[in-house]
Structure 1
Amino acid sequence: MSATAILELVAGAAIIGYVFSDFMFTTIGTNVYSFVSHRLARGLFALNRQLPDWSWKYHAVGPLCMGVVALWWVAGLWLGWTLVLHSFEPGVVRQDSEVPATFFGTLSHAGHMLSTLGGGISMANGIGPAILGVLAAVTGMVVLTLSVSFILSTTQTVVSGRSLLTYADAMREQEDDLSSNVLPQVASLVCAINSAPFALFYSHPDPRMRLPGGLARLYRRSSGETREAMDRILGRFMLIGEFDGLEDLERWAEHYDISKRAGGTA
């Protein structure tokens, strides 16, 4: 194996390892991790702040952030497996002539493996590349399966949060009993967002339906023992970091506001 092939093998394995770790911890992890996927989503979310305040951007920003993250996972694994398979040259050959595949031919083969559709017009040349093709297909199957559950958990967190905000806003002030009616739901929402932080990238044209701002609004309405309970609950919010009252919460909420007047970054 030449030095170039070794370099391709090491680089491909490193890319696969990092991207797959990013994918696994992001989709089925129950804590907040600072992988590339979250940084990409934050960056795209912040860019939307520069767009005009039309309603479509509030509807689109969440799916766009999720789409970019999915593209990163697929492209990263695709490139990684391409480099690994190409390092075994001729690890992939054309089915019709058994001529060694070019880099782009290997790219096509790796893509077919990841999609679990087979090798297309190419095939593995030897036991080693064949086993690697199986591993690539398994990786693709895992990504496809867990991506669905990840999207469902994220959107369910958004829906449950908006349900809480709708209920709280519908209550008349004199009947407002945050302690018995809302606090348990706030605690559930905080735990859900800790597990599915991408829910914060889903905005809404109506400011009352945006999760970060809604939590800050509920906090402002609380007082006495209810405020103390809210302090303890929000103190377990991993994404806020240092939490010492309303000012910290409002500053954090501004980071997830893509209106033109907002100045923070997600």
Structure 2
Amino acid sequence: MISAILGTCLLLVVTADVVMSTLGVGANGPLAPRVARGTFHIIRLLPRKDWVHRTCGPLVVVSIGAAWIVLMCLSWTLILSGSTGSVVLPASDAPTNIVEKAIYAGHLLSTLGGGNYESSGLLWGAVSALIGISGMVVLTLSVSFVYSTTQAVSAGRAILALSDIHQPGTDQFSRVLLPQFATLVAQIKAIPFALYFSSVREERRLPQKLAPLRSHPQISEQDRKNLDILLRELPGLEHVSQDSFNEAFDDWAKEYTLRPEES
């Protein structure tokens, strides 16, 4: 019974994290941000190679999805372990051990059925159905999560390319670039994990590129104020005062930089 209670609590935490991370429009779940930061810190230890910049973003996203799947499988395994005979062998009706229950839960989460095992009784049959439904929901939301993240990354790189064409100090910067940048900020606020994506080309790394953009010698005071208004909507900068914004912004950019010591 204790394992079932622990499994239920873990299931609620994981479910909340999935929903908040994929549908919460910028709301921070209890797990995904920590998994992303931990993975990114590990990636920072890798050699200074181009492939690290290419793969760091995908690795962060994959680590979040893997954490959801593993923890959800663990939570359902704990729930099934609340009763010795919840899952049985079809041929003999013999109860399964915890490893076999984990295999059974994993099969159901992958929407492939129960494998070589089956539930016993009406109650555990209903639980098995819920496991399958939760697996389908997590799979669907994960696909949407990956798609939204890559869209935000692509939009960011496109705007950085435009910033080389419509540079600060030109009319196009305020009329063309700033409105598109506002849309990008809204995307990143909804999917902040896009900030962990890097690029082999230094000028296409979003967090690092923003600092020289706002300190460009040709940028007008009004354009810089407007740009700062948009930047303060980014995750982690929402509550920073204007007086301390410069220092806070530099620290924020380093959090998403593979080599912060070189920034």
Corresponding residue of 1:246: 246
1:123 to 118, 121, 132: 118
Q: CA deviation at 1:214?
A: 2.0
2:227 alignment partner in structure 1: 230
Q: CA deviation at 1:170?
A: 3.0
What's the Cα RMSD here? Answer: 1.7
| Structure 1 CA distance for aligned equivalents of residues 27 and 256 of structure 2 | 16
Q: Structure 1: 5+ residue runs without aligned partners?
A: 1-5
Give me the TM-score of the superposition, normalised by structure 2: 0.92
| Match 1:83 to one of 78, 84, 94 | 78
TM-score normalised to the size of structure 1?
Answer: 0.91
TM superposition shift of 1:35: 1.8
Kindly state the Cα deviation for residue 238 of structure 1 after the two structures are TM-superposed: 3.0
1:236 is displaced (CA, Å) by 2.1
Specify the code of the residue in structure 1 equivalent to 2:207.
P
Once structures 1 and 2 are overlaid, which stretch shifts more, 122-131 or 231-240? 231-240
Give runs of aligned pairs for residues 20-169 of structure 1, distance below 5 A: 20-169=15-164
Q: 1:65-94: CA deviations, max 9, x gaps?
A: 111111110010101101111212201100
Contact 1:88–1:129 under 8 Å retained in 2: no
Instruction: Report deviation, 1:176.
Output: 5.9
Offset of residue 173 of structure 1: 6.5
2:101 partner amino acid: T
Contact 2:110/2:135 (8 A) holds in 1: yes
Higher mean alpha-carbon deviation, 97-106 vs 122-131, is at 97-106
Question: 1:31 Cα deviation (Å)?
Answer: 1.8
Change (3 A) 1:179 1:207: same
Letter in 2 for 1:232: I
Q: What is the SS of the residue equivalent to 2:71?
A: helix
Shift of 1:182: 0.8
The one-letter code of the counterpart of 1:108 is: I
The answer to whether the Cα contact below 8 Å between 2:56 and 2:197 also exists between their aligned partners in 1 is yes
Change in Cα spacing, 1:101 to 1:260, as seen in structure 2 (3 Å) is same
Q: String of CA shifts for 1:215-253, please: whole Å, max 9, x gaps.
A: 223212332211121122222223224153433322211
Tell me the distance in 1 between the aligned counterparts of 2:52 and 2:185.
Answer: 25
Q: Which structure 1 residue ranges, 4+ long, deviate > 4 Å from structure 2?
A: 172-176
| Number of positions where the alignment pairs a residue of Structure 1 with one of Structure 2 | 258
Q: Deviations over 1:130-169 (max 9, x none)?
A: 0000001000000111111110000000000000001111
Cα shift at 1:262 = 4.4
> Which residue number corresponds to residue 258 of structure 1?
258
* Separation in 2, partners of 1:234, 1:212: 11
1:173–1:65 distance in 2 versus 1, CA, 3 Å? closer
Does the residue aligned with 2:88 lie in a helix, a strand or coil? strand
Q: Percent identity?
A: 34
Larger deviation: 173-182 or 162-171? 173-182
8 A contact 1:31–1:194 mirrored in 2: yes
Kept after mapping to 1: 8 A contact 2:208/2:253: yes
Change (3 A) 1:128 1:172: closer
Q: Select the residue among 190, 206, 229 that pairs with 1:211.
A: 206
Alignment partners' CA distance in 2, 1:184 and 1:228: 14
Task: Find the aligned partners of 1:232 and 1:194 in 2 and give their Cα distance.
Answer: 14
Task: State yes or no: 1:201 paired with 2:196.
Answer: yes
Larger relative contact order (CA 8 Å, sep ≥ 6): 1
Cα distance in 2 for partners of 1:131, 1:125 equals: 10
Q: Distance in 2 between matches of 1:173 and 1:127?
A: 67
Indicate if the aligned counterparts of 2:104 and 2:117 stay in contact, CA closer than 8 A.
Answer: yes
Q: 1:107, CA displacement in angstroms?
A: 1.0
